[in-house]
Structure 1
Amino acid sequence: MYEVLAITGYKPHEIGIFNEKHEQLPYLKKAISKKIQQLKEEFDIKWIITSGQPGVELWAAEAAINLKEHYPDLKVATLAPFHEQEERFSEPVKKLYLNVWNSSDYRDFITKRPYDNPAQLRMKNQFIVGKSHAALVLFDEETDGTPKFFLSYALKKHENQDYPIIYLTPDDIEEMIREDISDQSWN
Protein backbone atom coordinates (compact mmCIF):
# COMPACT_ATOMS: atom_id res chain seq x y z
CA MET A 1 0.00 0.00 0.00
CA TYR A 2 1.30 3.42 -1.01
CA GLU A 3 -0.72 5.91 0.99
CA VAL A 4 1.03 9.12 -0.11
CA LEU A 5 1.43 9.92 -3.81
CA ALA A 6 3.54 12.86 -4.96
CA ILE A 7 2.54 14.26 -8.33
CA THR A 8 4.61 16.49 -10.58
CA GLY A 9 5.27 17.12 -14.23
CA TYR A 10 5.78 19.79 -16.80
CA LYS A 11 5.07 23.47 -16.43
CA PRO A 12 2.51 24.69 -19.00
CA HIS A 13 5.04 26.39 -21.30
CA GLU A 14 7.17 23.23 -21.40
CA ILE A 15 4.35 21.39 -23.18
CA GLY A 16 3.11 24.27 -25.31
CA ILE A 17 0.14 25.33 -23.18
CA PHE A 18 0.16 29.09 -22.90
CA ASN A 19 -3.33 29.74 -21.51
CA GLU A 20 -6.26 28.01 -19.85
CA LYS A 21 -8.20 27.97 -23.13
CA HIS A 22 -5.75 25.67 -24.94
CA GLU A 23 -7.77 23.08 -26.87
CA GLN A 24 -5.80 20.10 -25.49
CA LEU A 25 -5.95 21.18 -21.83
CA PRO A 26 -9.33 19.56 -21.01
CA TYR A 27 -8.01 16.24 -22.34
CA LEU A 28 -4.81 16.57 -20.35
CA LYS A 29 -6.74 17.34 -17.17
CA LYS A 30 -9.04 14.38 -17.81
CA ALA A 31 -6.05 12.08 -18.35
CA ILE A 32 -4.45 13.23 -15.09
CA SER A 33 -7.72 12.70 -13.23
CA LYS A 34 -8.18 9.25 -14.75
CA LYS A 35 -4.63 8.24 -13.73
CA ILE A 36 -5.12 9.49 -10.16
CA GLN A 37 -8.37 7.54 -9.96
CA GLN A 38 -6.66 4.40 -11.25
CA LEU A 39 -3.80 4.73 -8.75
CA LYS A 40 -6.21 5.50 -5.90
CA GLU A 41 -7.98 2.22 -6.55
CA GLU A 42 -4.83 0.22 -7.25
CA PHE A 43 -2.72 1.44 -4.31
CA ASP A 44 -5.40 2.71 -1.89
CA ILE A 45 -3.83 6.17 -1.91
CA LYS A 46 -4.92 8.42 0.95
CA TRP A 47 -2.94 11.60 0.19
CA ILE A 48 -1.93 13.48 -2.96
CA ILE A 49 0.99 15.88 -2.48
CA THR A 50 2.04 18.66 -4.85
CA SER A 51 3.93 21.90 -4.39
CA GLY A 52 1.19 23.81 -6.20
CA GLN A 53 3.38 24.92 -9.05
CA PRO A 54 1.75 25.81 -12.40
CA GLY A 55 0.99 23.04 -14.85
CA VAL A 56 0.69 19.39 -13.96
CA GLU A 57 0.92 19.97 -10.21
CA LEU A 58 -1.97 22.42 -10.05
CA TRP A 59 -4.05 20.41 -12.53
CA ALA A 60 -3.43 17.23 -10.51
CA ALA A 61 -4.33 18.91 -7.22
CA GLU A 62 -7.50 20.30 -8.82
CA ALA A 63 -8.37 16.81 -10.13
CA ALA A 64 -7.76 15.22 -6.71
CA ILE A 65 -9.97 17.83 -5.03
CA ASN A 66 -12.73 17.05 -7.54
CA LEU A 67 -12.27 13.29 -7.00
CA LYS A 68 -12.96 13.69 -3.26
CA GLU A 69 -16.64 13.57 -4.18
CA HIS A 70 -16.17 9.90 -5.17
CA TYR A 71 -13.36 9.16 -2.71
CA PRO A 72 -14.15 10.97 0.55
CA ASP A 73 -11.02 9.51 2.19
CA LEU A 74 -8.72 11.13 -0.41
CA LYS A 75 -6.84 14.11 0.97
CA VAL A 76 -4.79 16.78 -0.78
CA ALA A 77 -1.66 18.45 0.59
CA THR A 78 -0.11 21.52 -0.98
CA LEU A 79 3.46 22.04 0.19
CA ALA A 80 4.62 25.26 -1.40
CA PRO A 81 8.38 25.70 -1.70
CA PHE A 82 8.25 29.25 -0.30
CA HIS A 83 5.86 32.00 0.80
CA GLU A 84 4.02 33.95 -1.89
CA GLN A 85 4.95 31.70 -4.82
CA GLU A 86 1.63 32.67 -6.44
CA GLU A 87 2.81 36.28 -6.76
CA ARG A 88 4.82 35.16 -9.80
CA PHE A 89 1.82 33.55 -11.51
CA SER A 90 -0.50 35.01 -14.14
CA GLU A 91 -4.00 35.92 -12.91
CA PRO A 92 -5.75 32.69 -14.11
CA VAL A 93 -2.99 30.51 -12.62
CA LYS A 94 -3.01 32.51 -9.38
CA LYS A 95 -6.78 32.00 -9.14
CA LEU A 96 -6.39 28.22 -9.61
CA TYR A 97 -3.54 28.13 -7.09
CA LEU A 98 -5.56 29.99 -4.45
CA ASN A 99 -8.52 27.67 -5.05
CA VAL A 100 -6.27 24.61 -4.65
CA TRP A 101 -4.52 26.14 -1.62
CA ASN A 102 -7.82 26.94 0.10
CA SER A 103 -9.33 23.54 -0.78
CA SER A 104 -6.32 21.50 0.39
CA ASP A 105 -6.68 19.40 3.50
CA TYR A 106 -3.15 20.33 4.51
CA ARG A 107 -1.06 23.26 3.37
CA ASP A 108 2.30 24.55 4.44
CA PHE A 109 5.51 26.16 3.20
CA ILE A 110 8.64 24.04 2.95
CA THR A 111 10.82 27.07 3.53
CA LYS A 112 9.24 29.61 5.80
CA ARG A 113 10.18 32.68 3.76
CA PRO A 114 9.63 34.22 0.31
CA TYR A 115 11.82 33.10 -2.58
CA ASP A 116 15.45 34.06 -2.19
CA ASN A 117 17.46 31.32 -3.94
CA PRO A 118 17.17 28.20 -6.13
CA ALA A 119 18.05 25.93 -3.20
CA GLN A 120 14.44 26.34 -2.04
CA LEU A 121 13.28 24.49 -5.17
CA ARG A 122 15.79 21.67 -4.60
CA MET A 123 14.64 21.41 -1.00
CA LYS A 124 11.03 21.23 -2.22
CA ASN A 125 11.77 18.23 -4.44
CA GLN A 126 13.81 16.45 -1.77
CA PHE A 127 11.19 17.13 0.92
CA ILE A 128 8.22 15.91 -1.15
CA VAL A 129 10.03 12.75 -2.24
CA GLY A 130 10.91 12.12 1.40
CA LYS A 131 7.29 12.51 2.53
CA SER A 132 5.73 10.33 -0.20
CA HIS A 133 5.48 6.58 -0.83
CA ALA A 134 5.22 6.75 -4.63
CA ALA A 135 5.35 9.33 -7.41
CA LEU A 136 3.31 10.07 -10.51
CA VAL A 137 5.30 12.10 -13.01
CA LEU A 138 4.15 13.48 -16.35
CA PHE A 139 7.44 13.20 -18.18
CA ASP A 140 8.93 12.00 -21.43
CA GLU A 141 12.68 11.41 -21.52
CA GLU A 142 12.77 12.88 -25.03
CA THR A 143 11.32 16.19 -23.81
CA ASP A 144 13.53 17.96 -21.30
CA GLY A 145 11.94 19.97 -18.53
CA THR A 146 11.68 20.72 -14.85
CA PRO A 147 10.38 17.25 -13.83
CA LYS A 148 13.96 15.96 -14.20
CA PHE A 149 14.92 17.76 -10.99
CA PHE A 150 12.21 15.98 -9.00
CA LEU A 151 13.12 12.70 -10.69
CA SER A 152 16.75 12.97 -9.58
CA TYR A 153 15.58 12.59 -5.96
CA ALA A 154 12.81 10.11 -6.75
CA LEU A 155 15.18 7.79 -8.62
CA LYS A 156 17.63 7.78 -5.69
CA LYS A 157 14.81 6.79 -3.33
CA HIS A 158 13.57 4.20 -5.85
CA GLU A 159 17.04 2.59 -5.95
CA ASN A 160 17.22 2.27 -2.16
CA GLN A 161 13.67 1.30 -1.20
CA ASP A 162 10.20 0.42 -2.44
CA TYR A 163 9.29 3.72 -4.11
CA PRO A 164 7.37 3.25 -7.35
CA ILE A 165 7.68 5.97 -9.97
CA ILE A 166 4.71 5.91 -12.33
CA TYR A 167 5.13 7.79 -15.56
CA LEU A 168 2.34 9.44 -17.46
CA THR A 169 3.76 10.17 -20.91
CA PRO A 170 2.45 12.28 -23.77
CA ASP A 171 1.78 8.99 -25.60
CA ASP A 172 -0.43 7.81 -22.70
CA ILE A 173 -2.35 11.07 -22.88
CA GLU A 174 -2.76 10.79 -26.67
CA GLU A 175 -4.12 7.27 -26.16
CA MET A 176 -6.62 8.52 -23.57
CA ILE A 177 -7.70 11.30 -25.94
CA ARG A 178 -8.23 8.77 -28.75
CA GLU A 179 -10.26 6.54 -26.40
CA ASP A 180 -12.33 9.52 -25.25
CA ILE A 181 -13.03 10.67 -28.81
CA SER A 182 -13.87 7.10 -29.81
CA ASP A 183 -16.26 6.75 -26.85
CA GLN A 184 -17.95 10.05 -27.73
CA SER A 185 -18.46 9.05 -31.34
CA TRP A 186 -20.37 5.95 -30.20
CA ASN A 187 -22.78 7.96 -28.06
Structure 2
Amino acid sequence: MYDVLAVTGYKPHEIGIFNEKHDQLPYLKKALAKKITSLKEEYDIKWVITSGQPGVELWAAEAVIDMKDMYPDLRLATLAPFHEQEERFPEAVKALYETVWQKSDYRDYITKRPYDSPAQLRLKNEFIVQKSHASLVLYDEATEGTPKFFLSSALKKQQQEDYPIIYLTPDDIEEMIREELDDRSWN
Protein backbone atom coordinates (compact mmCIF):
# COMPACT_ATOMS: atom_id res chain seq x y z
CA MET A 1 0.00 0.00 0.00
CA TYR A 2 1.33 3.40 -1.01
CA ASP A 3 -0.75 6.05 0.74
CA VAL A 4 0.93 9.10 -0.77
CA LEU A 5 1.62 9.57 -4.49
CA ALA A 6 3.73 12.45 -5.79
CA VAL A 7 2.92 13.52 -9.35
CA THR A 8 5.13 15.57 -11.62
CA GLY A 9 6.16 15.89 -15.23
CA TYR A 10 6.82 18.31 -18.01
CA LYS A 11 6.02 21.99 -18.06
CA PRO A 12 3.63 22.91 -20.92
CA HIS A 13 6.32 24.44 -23.17
CA GLU A 14 8.51 21.32 -22.80
CA ILE A 15 5.89 19.26 -24.61
CA GLY A 16 4.72 21.90 -27.07
CA ILE A 17 1.53 22.96 -25.30
CA PHE A 18 1.31 26.73 -25.35
CA ASN A 19 -2.32 27.26 -24.33
CA GLU A 20 -5.28 25.47 -22.77
CA LYS A 21 -6.90 25.03 -26.20
CA HIS A 22 -4.18 22.71 -27.55
CA ASP A 23 -5.90 19.82 -29.37
CA GLN A 24 -4.00 17.08 -27.51
CA LEU A 25 -4.37 18.56 -24.02
CA PRO A 26 -7.72 16.84 -23.30
CA TYR A 27 -6.09 13.48 -24.08
CA LEU A 28 -3.11 14.23 -21.85
CA LYS A 29 -5.45 15.20 -19.01
CA LYS A 30 -7.52 12.06 -19.57
CA ALA A 31 -4.37 9.90 -19.55
CA LEU A 32 -3.28 11.45 -16.25
CA ALA A 33 -6.71 10.89 -14.72
CA LYS A 34 -6.81 7.30 -15.99
CA LYS A 35 -3.34 6.54 -14.57
CA ILE A 36 -4.08 8.16 -11.19
CA THR A 37 -7.37 6.23 -11.03
CA SER A 38 -5.63 2.91 -11.71
CA LEU A 39 -2.97 3.69 -9.08
CA LYS A 40 -5.69 4.70 -6.59
CA GLU A 41 -7.41 1.39 -7.13
CA GLU A 42 -4.23 -0.72 -7.20
CA TYR A 43 -2.41 0.86 -4.24
CA ASP A 44 -5.26 2.48 -2.29
CA ILE A 45 -3.68 5.92 -2.62
CA LYS A 46 -5.04 8.37 -0.07
CA TRP A 47 -3.08 11.52 -0.98
CA VAL A 48 -1.72 13.00 -4.19
CA ILE A 49 0.98 15.66 -3.81
CA THR A 50 2.12 18.21 -6.38
CA SER A 51 3.95 21.49 -6.07
CA GLY A 52 1.34 23.20 -8.24
CA GLN A 53 3.73 24.03 -11.05
CA PRO A 54 2.33 24.59 -14.56
CA GLY A 55 1.77 21.60 -16.81
CA VAL A 56 1.50 18.03 -15.60
CA GLU A 57 1.33 18.98 -11.92
CA LEU A 58 -1.62 21.35 -12.26
CA TRP A 59 -3.40 19.05 -14.72
CA ALA A 60 -2.96 16.09 -12.36
CA ALA A 61 -4.24 18.19 -9.44
CA GLU A 62 -7.25 19.17 -11.55
CA ALA A 63 -7.88 15.45 -12.26
CA VAL A 64 -7.72 14.60 -8.54
CA ILE A 65 -10.24 17.35 -7.75
CA ASP A 66 -12.55 15.89 -10.42
CA MET A 67 -12.10 12.36 -9.00
CA LYS A 68 -13.25 13.28 -5.49
CA ASP A 69 -16.90 12.43 -6.21
CA MET A 70 -15.89 8.88 -7.13
CA TYR A 71 -13.21 8.61 -4.41
CA PRO A 72 -14.25 10.73 -1.41
CA ASP A 73 -11.22 9.52 0.58
CA LEU A 74 -8.76 10.85 -2.02
CA ARG A 75 -6.98 14.01 -0.87
CA LEU A 76 -4.89 16.58 -2.69
CA ALA A 77 -1.89 18.38 -1.20
CA THR A 78 -0.28 21.33 -2.94
CA LEU A 79 3.18 22.06 -1.57
CA ALA A 80 4.45 25.14 -3.37
CA PRO A 81 8.24 25.56 -3.38
CA PHE A 82 7.98 29.23 -2.32
CA HIS A 83 5.51 32.07 -1.73
CA GLU A 84 3.98 33.70 -4.81
CA GLN A 85 5.18 31.07 -7.31
CA GLU A 86 2.12 31.88 -9.43
CA GLU A 87 3.13 35.52 -9.92
CA ARG A 88 4.98 34.74 -13.18
CA PHE A 89 2.35 32.34 -14.54
CA PRO A 90 0.25 33.40 -17.56
CA GLU A 91 -3.27 34.45 -16.54
CA ALA A 92 -4.98 31.16 -17.54
CA VAL A 93 -2.40 29.13 -15.62
CA LYS A 94 -2.61 31.48 -12.64
CA ALA A 95 -6.40 30.99 -12.55
CA LEU A 96 -6.01 27.19 -12.60
CA TYR A 97 -3.34 27.38 -9.89
CA GLU A 98 -5.60 29.50 -7.67
CA THR A 99 -8.48 27.03 -8.15
CA VAL A 100 -6.22 24.08 -7.32
CA TRP A 101 -4.77 25.92 -4.31
CA GLN A 102 -8.25 26.69 -2.95
CA LYS A 103 -9.58 23.16 -3.55
CA SER A 104 -6.53 21.38 -2.11
CA ASP A 105 -7.15 19.52 1.13
CA TYR A 106 -3.76 20.63 2.36
CA ARG A 107 -1.62 23.50 1.11
CA ASP A 108 1.62 24.98 2.30
CA TYR A 109 4.93 26.47 1.19
CA ILE A 110 8.07 24.40 1.45
CA THR A 111 10.22 27.48 1.90
CA LYS A 112 8.41 30.23 3.73
CA ARG A 113 9.56 33.10 1.51
CA PRO A 114 9.32 34.29 -2.11
CA TYR A 115 11.73 32.93 -4.72
CA ASP A 116 15.35 33.83 -4.06
CA SER A 117 17.37 30.82 -5.18
CA PRO A 118 17.22 27.75 -7.44
CA ALA A 119 17.98 25.77 -4.27
CA GLN A 120 14.31 26.22 -3.36
CA LEU A 121 13.35 24.06 -6.34
CA ARG A 122 15.83 21.36 -5.34
CA LEU A 123 14.45 21.45 -1.78
CA LYS A 124 10.93 21.12 -3.22
CA ASN A 125 11.87 17.93 -5.07
CA GLU A 126 13.63 16.42 -2.06
CA PHE A 127 10.80 17.35 0.32
CA ILE A 128 8.03 15.94 -1.87
CA VAL A 129 9.96 12.72 -2.49
CA GLN A 130 10.50 12.30 1.26
CA LYS A 131 6.80 12.90 2.00
CA SER A 132 5.56 10.43 -0.64
CA HIS A 133 5.51 6.62 -0.90
CA ALA A 134 5.58 6.45 -4.74
CA SER A 135 5.71 8.81 -7.67
CA LEU A 136 4.05 9.16 -11.04
CA VAL A 137 6.18 11.02 -13.55
CA LEU A 138 5.28 12.05 -17.09
CA TYR A 139 8.71 11.71 -18.63
CA ASP A 140 10.59 10.21 -21.53
CA GLU A 141 14.37 9.98 -21.32
CA ALA A 142 14.57 10.86 -25.03
CA THR A 143 12.96 14.24 -24.27
CA GLU A 144 14.91 15.81 -21.45
CA GLY A 145 13.22 18.40 -19.28
CA THR A 146 12.60 19.60 -15.76
CA PRO A 147 11.26 16.24 -14.48
CA LYS A 148 14.86 14.96 -14.47
CA PHE A 149 15.53 17.00 -11.32
CA PHE A 150 12.64 15.37 -9.46
CA LEU A 151 13.74 11.97 -10.75
CA SER A 152 17.21 12.52 -9.36
CA SER A 153 15.76 12.77 -5.84
CA ALA A 154 13.29 9.92 -6.44
CA LEU A 155 15.99 7.56 -7.71
CA LYS A 156 18.12 8.26 -4.62
CA LYS A 157 15.19 7.32 -2.38
CA GLN A 158 14.48 4.25 -4.52
CA GLN A 159 18.04 3.00 -3.92
CA GLN A 160 17.45 3.13 -0.16
CA GLU A 161 13.91 1.79 0.15
CA ASP A 162 10.82 0.55 -1.65
CA TYR A 163 9.85 3.64 -3.65
CA PRO A 164 8.08 2.89 -6.92
CA ILE A 165 8.57 5.38 -9.74
CA ILE A 166 5.76 4.93 -12.24
CA TYR A 167 6.29 6.47 -15.66
CA LEU A 168 3.65 7.83 -17.96
CA THR A 169 5.35 8.43 -21.29
CA PRO A 170 4.35 10.43 -24.35
CA ASP A 171 4.04 7.04 -26.11
CA ASP A 172 1.43 5.98 -23.50
CA ILE A 173 -0.53 9.14 -24.23
CA GLU A 174 -0.25 8.61 -28.00
CA GLU A 175 -1.58 5.08 -27.50
CA MET A 176 -4.52 6.44 -25.53
CA ILE A 177 -5.26 8.97 -28.28
CA ARG A 178 -5.23 6.16 -30.88
CA GLU A 179 -7.60 4.08 -28.73
CA GLU A 180 -9.93 7.07 -28.25
CA LEU A 181 -10.00 7.79 -31.98
CA ASP A 182 -10.56 4.11 -32.80
CA ASP A 183 -13.44 3.98 -30.32
CA ARG A 184 -15.00 7.08 -31.91
CA SER A 185 -14.72 5.62 -35.39
CA TRP A 186 -16.74 2.56 -34.26
CA ASN A 187 -19.51 4.66 -32.71
TM bin (shorter chain): over 0.9
Structure-1 residue corresponding to 2:70: 70
Partners of 1:86 and 1:185 in 2: how far apart? 41
Identity %: 78
Partners of 1:25 and 1:143 in 2: how far apart? 18
How far apart are 1:45 and its partner, in Å? 0.3
How far apart are 1:182 and its partner, in Å? 1.4
Amino acid at match of 1:167: Y
Partners of 2:177 and 2:160 in 1: how far apart? 36
Partners of 1:79 and 1:180 in 2: how far apart? 33
Partners of 2:179 and 2:37 in 1: how far apart? 17
| Residues 73-129 of structure 1, C-alpha deviations (whole Å, 9 max, x = no match) | 000000000000000100000000000000000000000000001000000000000
Amino acid at match of 1:146: T
1:89 aligns with 2:89: yes
When the two chains are superposed, the root-mean-square deviation of aligned CA atoms in Å is: 0.5
Structure-2 residue corresponding to 1:43: 43
List, as ranges, runs of 4+ consecutive aligned residues in structure 1 with deviation greater than 2 Å.
none
State TM-score, norm by structure 1.
0.99
Partners of 1:25 and 1:44 in 2: how far apart? 27
How far apart are 1:185 and its partner, in Å? 1.9
| Residues 43-99 of structure 1, C-alpha deviations (whole Å, 9 max, x = no match) | 000000000000000000000110011100000000000000000100000000000
How far apart are 1:38 and its partner, in Å? 0.6
Unaligned runs of 5+ in 2: none
Structure-2 residue corresponding to 1:19: 19
Unaligned runs of 5+ in 1: none
Amino acid at match of 2:149: F
Partners of 1:139 and 1:61 in 2: how far apart? 17
Structure-1 residue corresponding to 2:138: 138
SS at match of 1:65: helix
Structure-1 residue corresponding to 2:153: 153
Partners of 2:42 and 2:93 in 1: how far apart? 31
How far apart are 1:40 and its partner, in Å? 0.4
Amino acid at match of 1:128: I
Structure-1 residue corresponding to 2:98: 98
- What is the count of residue pairs matched by the alignment? 187
State TM-score, norm by structure 2.
0.99
How far apart are 1:131 and its partner, in Å? 0.0
| Residues 115-160 of structure 1, C-alpha deviations (whole Å, 9 max, x = no match) | 0010000000000000000000000000010000000000011111
How far apart are 1:28 and its partner, in Å? 0.5
SS at match of 1:162: coil
SS at match of 1:144: coil
Structure-1 residue corresponding to 2:30: 30
How far apart are 1:186 and its partner, in Å? 1.9
Structure-1 residue corresponding to 2:2: 2
Partners of 2:80 and 2:135 in 1: how far apart? 17
